[in-house]
Protein backbone atom coordinates (compact mmCIF):
# COMPACT_ATOMS: atom_id res chain seq x y z
CA UNK A 1 0.00 0.00 0.00
CA UNK A 2 1.41 3.37 -0.99
CA UNK A 3 -0.57 5.40 1.52
CA UNK A 4 -0.08 5.08 5.29
CA UNK A 5 -3.82 5.36 5.90
CA UNK A 6 -6.49 2.86 4.97
CA UNK A 7 -9.68 4.68 4.02
CA UNK A 8 -13.13 3.45 5.01
CA UNK A 9 -15.61 5.67 3.19
CA UNK A 10 -19.33 5.15 3.78
CA UNK A 11 -21.71 6.20 1.03
CA UNK A 12 -25.13 6.20 2.66
CA UNK A 13 -26.94 7.21 -0.51
CA UNK A 14 -30.63 7.95 0.26
CA UNK A 15 -30.58 6.67 3.84
CA UNK A 16 -30.65 8.06 7.35
CA UNK A 17 -32.27 10.59 9.67
CA UNK A 18 -31.11 12.53 12.74
CA UNK A 19 -31.28 9.41 14.93
CA UNK A 20 -28.84 7.64 12.59
CA UNK A 21 -26.02 9.53 14.35
CA UNK A 22 -26.03 6.58 16.77
CA UNK A 23 -24.58 4.39 13.99
CA UNK A 24 -21.68 6.79 13.51
CA UNK A 25 -21.12 7.17 17.25
CA UNK A 26 -21.04 3.38 17.69
CA UNK A 27 -18.34 3.09 15.06
CA UNK A 28 -16.42 5.97 16.63
CA UNK A 29 -16.54 4.19 20.00
CA UNK A 30 -15.30 0.98 18.41
CA UNK A 31 -12.35 2.74 16.78
CA UNK A 32 -11.33 4.20 20.15
CA UNK A 33 -11.71 0.87 21.98
CA UNK A 34 -9.79 -1.03 19.31
CA UNK A 35 -7.14 1.72 19.22
CA UNK A 36 -7.26 1.77 15.45
CA UNK A 37 -5.65 5.07 14.53
CA UNK A 38 -3.97 4.64 11.18
CA UNK A 39 -7.10 5.04 9.14
CA UNK A 40 -9.51 7.63 7.82
CA UNK A 41 -13.19 6.93 8.38
CA UNK A 42 -15.53 9.14 6.36
CA UNK A 43 -19.32 9.13 6.27
CA UNK A 44 -20.81 10.64 3.13
CA UNK A 45 -24.38 11.22 4.20
CA UNK A 46 -27.46 12.95 2.71
CA UNK A 47 -27.14 16.73 2.70
CA UNK A 48 -29.94 16.96 5.28
CA UNK A 49 -27.65 15.29 7.85
CA UNK A 50 -24.29 16.97 7.22
CA UNK A 51 -24.71 19.84 9.68
CA UNK A 52 -26.27 17.70 12.44
CA UNK A 53 -23.63 14.99 12.16
CA UNK A 54 -20.72 17.42 11.92
CA UNK A 55 -21.78 19.22 15.11
CA UNK A 56 -22.27 16.00 17.03
CA UNK A 57 -19.01 14.23 16.20
CA UNK A 58 -16.53 17.08 16.63
CA UNK A 59 -14.37 15.11 19.05
CA UNK A 60 -14.55 12.01 16.93
CA UNK A 61 -11.95 10.58 14.55
CA UNK A 62 -14.66 10.40 11.89
CA UNK A 63 -15.15 12.98 9.12
CA UNK A 64 -18.36 13.88 7.31
CA UNK A 65 -18.73 14.21 3.57
CA UNK A 66 -21.37 14.95 0.95
CA UNK A 67 -22.48 12.67 -1.87
CA UNK A 68 -22.47 15.16 -4.73
CA UNK A 69 -22.41 18.89 -5.47
CA UNK A 70 -23.27 21.39 -8.18
CA UNK A 71 -20.47 22.50 -10.48
CA UNK A 72 -20.88 26.26 -9.92
CA UNK A 73 -19.08 28.15 -7.16
CA UNK A 74 -21.68 30.90 -6.91
CA UNK A 75 -25.39 30.94 -6.12
CA UNK A 76 -27.79 30.56 -9.02
CA UNK A 77 -31.23 29.50 -10.24
CA UNK A 78 -30.73 25.75 -9.73
CA UNK A 79 -33.66 24.45 -7.69
CA UNK A 80 -32.68 21.73 -5.25
CA UNK A 81 -28.94 22.06 -5.91
CA UNK A 82 -26.11 22.62 -3.45
CA UNK A 83 -22.63 23.80 -4.41
CA UNK A 84 -19.31 23.00 -2.74
CA UNK A 85 -19.26 26.29 -0.86
CA UNK A 86 -22.62 25.53 0.77
CA UNK A 87 -21.59 22.00 1.68
CA UNK A 88 -18.34 23.15 3.24
CA UNK A 89 -20.20 25.80 5.24
CA UNK A 90 -22.44 23.20 6.91
CA UNK A 91 -19.53 20.96 7.89
CA UNK A 92 -18.63 18.69 4.97
CA UNK A 93 -14.94 17.95 4.54
CA UNK A 94 -15.24 15.49 1.66
CA UNK A 95 -17.48 15.11 -1.39
CA UNK A 96 -18.15 12.21 -3.75
CA UNK A 97 -17.98 13.24 -7.41
CA UNK A 98 -18.56 11.12 -10.50
CA UNK A 99 -20.47 8.25 -8.94
CA UNK A 100 -21.94 6.01 -11.63
CA UNK A 101 -25.47 6.72 -10.36
CA UNK A 102 -24.89 10.43 -11.01
CA UNK A 103 -23.18 9.75 -14.33
CA UNK A 104 -26.29 7.80 -15.33
CA UNK A 105 -28.40 10.86 -14.45
CA UNK A 106 -26.39 13.07 -16.80
CA UNK A 107 -23.05 13.94 -15.22
CA UNK A 108 -20.59 14.10 -18.10
CA UNK A 109 -16.81 14.08 -17.70
CA UNK A 110 -16.85 17.82 -18.38
CA UNK A 111 -19.39 18.48 -15.62
CA UNK A 112 -17.49 16.19 -13.24
CA UNK A 113 -14.29 18.13 -13.96
CA UNK A 114 -16.03 21.39 -13.06
CA UNK A 115 -17.38 19.84 -9.86
CA UNK A 116 -13.92 18.65 -8.86
CA UNK A 117 -12.36 22.06 -9.45
CA UNK A 118 -15.13 23.83 -7.53
CA UNK A 119 -14.83 21.37 -4.65
CA UNK A 120 -11.06 21.82 -4.36
CA UNK A 121 -11.42 25.60 -4.59
CA UNK A 122 -13.78 25.40 -1.61
CA UNK A 123 -11.41 23.21 0.38
CA UNK A 124 -13.23 19.90 0.06
CA UNK A 125 -11.38 16.64 -0.49
CA UNK A 126 -12.81 14.91 -3.56
CA UNK A 127 -13.65 11.22 -3.77
CA UNK A 128 -13.52 10.86 -7.56
CA UNK A 129 -15.35 7.77 -8.84
CA UNK A 130 -14.40 5.98 -12.03
CA UNK A 131 -15.36 2.61 -13.43
CA UNK A 132 -16.56 0.62 -16.42
CA UNK A 133 -20.00 -0.85 -17.16
CA UNK A 134 -20.59 -4.54 -17.82
CA UNK A 135 -20.98 -3.82 -21.53
CA UNK A 136 -17.63 -2.01 -21.61
CA UNK A 137 -16.00 -4.84 -19.67
CA UNK A 138 -17.29 -7.41 -22.13
CA UNK A 139 -15.99 -5.31 -25.02
CA UNK A 140 -12.59 -5.27 -23.26
CA UNK A 141 -12.50 -1.47 -23.23
CA UNK A 142 -12.02 -1.09 -19.45
CA UNK A 143 -8.61 0.58 -19.70
CA UNK A 144 -9.80 2.94 -22.41
CA UNK A 145 -12.81 3.95 -20.30
CA UNK A 146 -10.74 4.46 -17.16
CA UNK A 147 -8.12 6.44 -19.05
CA UNK A 148 -10.76 8.77 -20.54
CA UNK A 149 -12.44 9.28 -17.17
CA UNK A 150 -9.11 10.14 -15.53
CA UNK A 151 -7.91 12.34 -18.38
CA UNK A 152 -11.14 14.34 -18.70
CA UNK A 153 -12.23 14.32 -15.07
CA UNK A 154 -8.88 15.58 -13.79
CA UNK A 155 -8.16 17.92 -16.70
CA UNK A 156 -6.43 21.12 -15.63
CA UNK A 157 -5.52 19.85 -12.16
CA UNK A 158 -1.91 20.19 -11.07
CA UNK A 159 -1.96 18.04 -7.93
CA UNK A 160 -3.65 15.02 -6.40
CA UNK A 161 -3.34 16.41 -2.88
CA UNK A 162 -7.10 16.77 -2.47
CA UNK A 163 -8.14 13.80 -4.60
CA UNK A 164 -8.98 10.22 -3.63
CA UNK A 165 -9.70 8.10 -6.68
CA UNK A 166 -12.37 5.44 -6.17
CA UNK A 167 -12.34 2.60 -8.66
CA UNK A 168 -15.91 1.27 -8.75
CA UNK A 169 -16.72 -1.12 -11.58
CA UNK A 170 -20.34 -0.28 -12.32
CA UNK A 171 -21.22 -3.94 -12.81
CA UNK A 172 -20.16 -4.69 -9.25
CA UNK A 173 -22.18 -2.01 -7.44
CA UNK A 174 -25.04 -3.59 -5.53
CA UNK A 175 -24.70 -6.95 -7.29
CA UNK A 176 -22.65 -8.80 -4.69
CA UNK A 177 -20.09 -9.59 -7.40
CA UNK A 178 -16.53 -8.33 -7.08
CA UNK A 179 -13.74 -8.50 -9.68
CA UNK A 180 -11.39 -11.45 -9.60
CA UNK A 181 -7.98 -10.86 -8.07
CA UNK A 182 -6.46 -10.69 -11.55
CA UNK A 183 -9.09 -8.23 -12.84
CA UNK A 184 -8.70 -6.03 -9.79
CA UNK A 185 -4.91 -6.00 -9.97
CA UNK A 186 -4.99 -5.19 -13.68
CA UNK A 187 -7.43 -2.29 -13.33
CA UNK A 188 -5.97 -0.82 -10.14
CA UNK A 189 -2.41 -1.03 -11.46
CA UNK A 190 -3.50 0.70 -14.65
CA UNK A 191 -5.23 3.50 -12.70
CA UNK A 192 -2.23 4.00 -10.42
CA UNK A 193 0.22 4.09 -13.35
CA UNK A 194 -1.91 6.66 -15.17
CA UNK A 195 -2.11 8.89 -12.10
CA UNK A 196 1.62 8.65 -11.40
CA UNK A 197 2.44 9.39 -15.04
CA UNK A 198 0.05 12.32 -15.22
CA UNK A 199 0.96 13.98 -11.93
CA UNK A 200 4.60 12.84 -11.63
CA UNK A 201 4.20 11.61 -8.06
CA UNK A 202 3.70 8.36 -6.17
CA UNK A 203 3.19 9.76 -2.69
CA UNK A 204 -0.07 11.60 -3.40
CA UNK A 205 -1.79 8.78 -5.28
CA UNK A 206 -4.66 7.36 -3.22
CA UNK A 207 -6.83 4.70 -4.83
CA UNK A 208 -9.74 3.02 -3.05
CA UNK A 209 -12.01 0.24 -4.25
CA UNK A 210 -15.81 0.27 -4.21
CA UNK A 211 -18.43 -2.21 -5.34
CA UNK A 212 -20.25 -4.75 -3.14
CA UNK A 213 -17.73 -4.42 -0.29
CA UNK A 214 -18.96 -6.45 2.70
CA UNK A 215 -17.63 -8.22 5.82
CA UNK A 216 -17.27 -11.51 3.93
CA UNK A 217 -15.07 -10.29 1.07
CA UNK A 218 -13.11 -7.57 2.86
CA UNK A 219 -10.32 -9.93 3.97
CA UNK A 220 -9.69 -10.93 0.37
CA UNK A 221 -9.88 -7.35 -0.87
CA UNK A 222 -7.63 -5.95 1.86
CA UNK A 223 -4.78 -8.25 0.83
CA UNK A 224 -4.49 -6.37 -2.44
CA UNK A 225 -1.53 -3.99 -2.13
CA UNK A 226 -2.95 -1.70 -4.81
CA UNK A 227 -5.90 -0.74 -2.58
CA UNK A 228 -5.58 2.18 -0.15
CA UNK A 229 -9.07 1.77 1.24
CA UNK A 230 -12.71 1.16 0.44
CA UNK A 231 -15.86 3.00 -0.64
CA UNK A 232 -18.70 1.12 1.01
CA UNK A 233 -22.37 1.39 0.07
CA UNK A 234 -25.19 -0.64 1.61
CA UNK A 235 -23.01 -2.35 4.22
CA UNK A 236 -22.10 1.04 5.71
CA UNK A 237 -25.71 1.60 6.77
CA UNK A 238 -25.34 -1.13 9.41
CA UNK A 239 -23.06 -0.46 12.36
CA UNK A 240 -22.37 -4.19 12.77
CA UNK A 241 -21.45 -4.71 9.11
CA UNK A 242 -19.31 -1.58 8.99
CA UNK A 243 -17.46 -2.49 12.19
CA UNK A 244 -16.99 -6.04 10.92
CA UNK A 245 -15.52 -4.69 7.68
CA UNK A 246 -12.94 -2.66 9.63
CA UNK A 247 -12.28 -5.53 12.03
CA UNK A 248 -11.88 -8.16 9.30
CA UNK A 249 -9.63 -5.85 7.35
CA UNK A 250 -7.08 -5.94 10.16
CA UNK A 251 -7.36 -9.63 11.01
Cβ–Cβ under 8 Å, residues 146 and 132:
yes
Average pLDDT over residues 231-247: 97
Lowest-pLDDT choice from 55-64, 197-206, 217-226? 55-64
Q: Which of 4, 2, 6, 3 is nearest to 230 (CA)?
A: 6
- For residue 65, what are the CA distances in angstroms to 68, 95, 135, 152, 213? 9, 5, 31, 24, 19
Q: State what percent of residues in the chain have pLDDT above 70.
A: 98
pLDDT of 94-124, one tens digit each? 999 999 999 999 999 999 999 999 999 999 9
* CA 71 distance to own-chain centroid: 18
Task: Please report which residue ranges of the chain form alpha helices under DSSP H.
Answer: 21-34, 47-56, 84-89, 100-104, 109-121, 134-138, 142-153, 181-199, 218-222, 239-249
Q: Which fold has domain 6-249?
A: TIM Barrel (3.20.20)
For residue 61, the model assigns a pLDDT of 84
What gap in Å lies between CA 235 and CA 246, rounded to an integer? Answer: 11
Q: What is the pLDDT of residue 3?
A: 55
> pTM score, two decimals?
0.96
Q: Could you give the residue numbers annotated as active site? A: 99, 168
Cα angle 87, 147, 143 (rounded to 5 degrees) comes to 125
pLDDT score of 141: 98
pLDDT value at residue 35 = 84
Per-residue model confidence (pLDDT) at position 1: 44
Nearest-angstrom CA–CA distance, 152 and 195: 12
Question: Reduced to 3 states, what is the DSSP secondary structure of residue 183?
Answer: helix
* pLDDT for 37: 76
Helices 47-56 and 21-34 pack at an angle, to 10 degrees, of 40
Q: Cβ neighbours of residue 84 under 8 Å, at least 6 residues apart?
A: 69, 70, 73, 95, 115, 118, 119, 121, 122, 124
Residue 4 pLDDT level (bands cut at 50, 70, 90) = low
Taking all residues of the chain, what is their mean pLDDT, rounded to a whole number? 95
Q: Which residue has the higher pLDDT, 36 or 138?
A: 138
Q: How high is the pLDDT of residue 113?
A: 98
d(CA 245, CA 241): 6
In whole angstroms, what separates CA 227 from the centre of its chain? 12
Domain map (residue ranges) of the chain: 6-249
146: how many CB neighbours lie within 10 A of its CB?
Answer: 22
Amino acid sequence: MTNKFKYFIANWKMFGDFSSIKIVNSISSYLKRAKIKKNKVIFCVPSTLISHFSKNIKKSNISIGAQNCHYLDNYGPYTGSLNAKMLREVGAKYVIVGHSENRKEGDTDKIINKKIKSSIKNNLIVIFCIGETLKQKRKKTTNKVLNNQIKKGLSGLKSLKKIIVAYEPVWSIGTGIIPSEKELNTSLSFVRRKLISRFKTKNLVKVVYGGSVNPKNISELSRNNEIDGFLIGGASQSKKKFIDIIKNCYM
